[in-house]
Amino acid sequence: MNLNNKLAYVSGAGSGIGRETALVLAKSGCRLAITDICEDSLGETASLIGESVVFIHRLDVADESAYRQCADKLIGDIGVPDIVVNNAGVGLTGFFNDCSLLNWQWIIGINLKGVIHGCHFFAPAMLERGSGQIVNISSGLGLFAAPKMSAYCASKYAVVGLSESLRSEFSTSGVGVTVICPGIVNTAITKNMRVASGEQAAVRATTSAMYQRRNYTPDKIAARIVRAIEKNHGVVPVCPETHIAYALKRLSPRFSSAILSRLMAKTLDPSIVRC
């Protein structure tokens, strides 16, 4: 896909991967429609992008009615997006038995329903036009599982499955579907993550420190997203650890599970696994 003058929609554009993706798309010649639940952060992104922003809207991606209104307004006022990046996401960690159903509903609402809503409200018009690219942001933990990440893994595995199914279903339509699976990326996701224990502040602090030490920056993910859009790539693992773990899983699921558990236990606080 040639990106010049294309209309690109990005959810969760207020920070991290979403912001960097919006910036790179703008530099590539796209017009930007951006949404985020945080108006202040969204405004900062709009200021960084400048005149390439043609649509800005505060949005809770888990809210079906709000998403419908947002999509209708974008399509009615500006047009059908050529590119849809379903990026908004959150983190949740802790033992399965400590995770309340409210926490499950929260993470499924944003990480999975948010992606479903983005596909549901934009795909029909894209299919009718016969062109476009949908990009869903999953995680390395949508390709391989980790202990004490059951809710997060469930939401991200589902995004991979949804994306692969849609890619096959839309294969002759002119609409491509890509799923991006990053590893540990230094973003603000740890600030808003939930922890199914009584040590939320401590876990957030140590998790943030780990992400900062790893320091794989979101602009690298954004560059890979843009390349995937241009080439209509399918499942896209990003970050060295994701490639290695995914390859190990395909070679030997049992061995890779044991290795991943040991590595996380050594690297992280043994009482709770964070990713």
Determine which one of 9, 67, 152, 246 is catalytic.
152
Q: Is 152 a catalytic residue?
A: yes
Whether the CB-CB separation of 159 and 140 falls below 8 Å is answered with no
Report d(CA 264, CA 121) in Å as an integer: 38
Report d(CA 269, CA 251) in Å as an integer: 28
- Residue ranges of E strands in 22-140: 31-36, 53-58, 83-86, 92-93, 132-137
Report d(CA 80, CA 74) in Å as an integer: 7
Whether the CB-CB separation of 222 and 122 falls below 8 Å is answered with no
Residue in this structure with the two tokens 């859009």, named with its chain if needed = 229
Report d(CA 248, CA 145) in Å as an integer: 12
Q: Which tokens is 220 given?
A: 């690298």
8 by DSSP, 3-state: which?
A: strand
Residue numbers annotated as active site: 152
